[in-house]
Structure 1
């Protein structure tokens, strides 16, 4: 299960009007247990692009990174963890 320690979120402007809906970028600090393969002494965060287009809301993309170095971590989270992440983003959308 995902344990969220902290987050930031901001509206992403689309200056060219190419994208449908609104995009938000979240940086979510995760509390990863030491026995998890994703664990890092320096911490881990998820960078999430979340889309809102009318009634449709979903994660477009997420990446996991080591917090201190910003190094990309080539891991996928479990489907139920992704659902929890999407629910968190939906509940914490910033004002556009």
Structure 2
């Protein structure tokens, strides 16, 4: 049980990549899933918090774009976002 508790604790602690260390963090929930969004000017990084099964991961890229929009008030340029279902980065238009 102890390794599981440690894993859950670490999953809740989302840290940005070095390019976003000075970025503003916002936490949002989209369709019941939590995301940490880091904004630095016209760039954003979004990190999924918590586990997602392989079947759930198909919907996550769209949820991430909505999380970025909610957190920043800007439009996420979908074609610029790269990464996976755990972390993505891209540009914003405001």
What band does the TM-score fall into relative to the shorter chain? 0.3 to 0.5
Normalising by structure 1, report the TM-score.
0.41
Higher relative strand content: 1
Normalising by structure 2, report the TM-score.
0.41
In terms of Rg, which structure is larger?
1
